[in-house]
Amino acid sequence: MSEQPLIEQHASDSRQNIKLLFPDVALLARLEQLSVAAGSRIKGTMAGKLRSSSLGGSQEFADYRPYAPGDDIRRLDWNVYGRTGRAYMRQYWDEQELSVNLLIDVSRSMTFGGTDNKLHYAVRLAACIAYASLSGEDRIALKLYGDSRLENQLMPVRGKASLPIVFSMLAETIRKEEKLRSALSDAASAHTPPSLSMSEAINAAGGKPFKSGVAFLLTDAMYEEGIEEALTALLAAGQKIVFIHLLSPDELEPDLSGELKLIDSELGTGKDIAVSAPLIDKYKRAVDGYRQYLRQLCGERGIDYLFIDTGRPLSQAVQRDLLQRGVLRSK
């Protein structure tokens, strides 16, 4: 049987994933010129892209490490392979690779807003960061956490050859949420355990990263507790944290009036209220106060806090929030 149909199907799937993750395909060309700048690069950890054109003393051999998908096979030590039958890569002291960990909140509150909700935005923004990271020959790992359990994960990969794997997982996250949203009623979803603690949710997703690097935390921060504990644990694991706080336009400027029953998307509980202008003003002050609390919490710990209104185009978030704030940089 010919392999051509399988190859064509794989290419078609990849195109569909890119179309879903990057509605503005032109953004890919911009991301090609960017790399992750947050935190310090780890010297001599694993072989990334060759950072220097000279082959003098700066190319001092440091160690071997096992081959991983996406590695440049030109760095494979064929002598070691001939002796052991195992593939090992040579690494040098002037080669620096950044370990990027993407932690995406997929709890129920992230689905607020229907189509193109916070979850979709977080996944697409993570795809942008992943593209910039892998284009720069850095290493990334993905973990989707929420509702007190690990939803999905991707172990560390590196290189542009890994992009189809990353995009497939992220695109499937959006598709899965769309199917669940159309199939489940509020009553059915109420049986799902709520996400009360961020630290518990992250621990359920495998806990803190194993290697020092940069951790991007994409969340709406709607947890009863555990945010400070989660940040402390990530810092203790040697992570430079970028806390990306996402809220939708409807959460920032609610257009509500009259007598309503509001449902807590995490707890599943409801409350009857009479919406008035003073109540809306009080709500807005509470939201602003919570944002200020998170900004201060992060600032006191040397954590980058970025607030993003998901009503803004993704390209603006990349340009104004990630690039201008120094989270991403031009190559």
pLDDT tens for each residue of the chain, 331 residues long: 444 444 455 577 889 999 999 998 899 999 989 989 855 444 434 444 434 333 333 455 656 777 766 677 777 888 888 888 888 887 664 456 789 999 999 988 898 876 789 999 999 999 999 999 998 888 999 999 876 566 788 999 988 899 999 999 999 999 988 887 666 544 444 445 555 678 777 776 555 666 789 999 999 998 878 899 999 989 988 899 999 999 999 899 887 665 655 555 555 566 666 677 888 888 899 999 999 999 999 999 999 999 999 999 999 999 999 998 899 988 7
Three-class SS state of 116: coil
Alpha-carbon dihedral of residues 169, 170, 173, 175, nearest 10 degrees?
-100
Question: Residue 188: what are its φ and ψ, rounded to 5°?
Answer: -70, -40
Distance CA 219, CA 216 (A): 10
Q: Residue 121 and residue 86: Cα distance in Å, rounded? A: 41
The pLDDT of residue 212 is: 84
Q: Which domains does the chain have, with CATH numbers?
A: 55-96 (no CATH), 98-330 (3.40.50.410)
Tokens of 137: 């020959």
Distance between CA atoms of 301 and 85, rounded to whole angstroms? 47
> Distance between CA atoms of 137 and 98, rounded to whole angstroms?
9
> Using an 8 Å Cβ cutoff, are 43 and 330 in contact?
no
- Is residue 330 within 8 Å of 324, Cβ to Cβ? no
Helices (H), 50-90: 78-84
